[in-house]
Amino acid sequence: MGISVFIQNQIHEQVAEVAGYASQTLDEVISQASIGSLTRGINKHADTMFNTTQLNFFIDEIASLTPENDSERELFTVLRAAAESAIRQRGYLWFSGD
């Protein structure tokens, strides 16, 4: 089924689902991410949640990645927008693995 990504507000209410359609691309990006990176820390089979402090680092991290194809380019754009939305709401980005 893959990984779904949700934006939550400050009190953990789900605001939006994002990148659910790109879960296969996200799986590949996670597998190729550097050890110790936030991206590598996203668990494909469980829940991972980033708070606003972590999201600032996550935005920098995905900005430093070079997309290998259009799917990755779109994924990075979507993840950046989702992270920025979560930060504006003082919320969270929740990755829900299958």
Question: Residue 20: pLDDT band by 50, 70, 90 thresholds?
Answer: low
**16-30, 38-52, 77-91: least confidently modelled range:** 16-30
Domain range summary for the chain, segments of one domain joined by +: 4-96
For residues 33 and 24, the model is more confident at 33
pLDDT of residue 18: 87
The span from the CA of 38 to the CA of 27, in Å, is 14
Are 16 and 97 contacting, i.e. CB atoms less than 8 angstroms apart? no
N-term to C-term CA, the chain: 6
Are 19 and 79 contacting, i.e. CB atoms less than 8 angstroms apart? yes
Question: Residue 22: pLDDT band by 50, 70, 90 thresholds?
Answer: low
Q: Give yes or no for residue 66 having a pLDDT over 90.
A: yes
- Which residues are registered as beta bridge partners of 49? 94
Q: Give yes or no for residue 67 having a pLDDT over 70.
A: yes
Q: Topology of domain 4-96, per CATH? A: Hypothetical protein yfbM fold (3.40.1760)
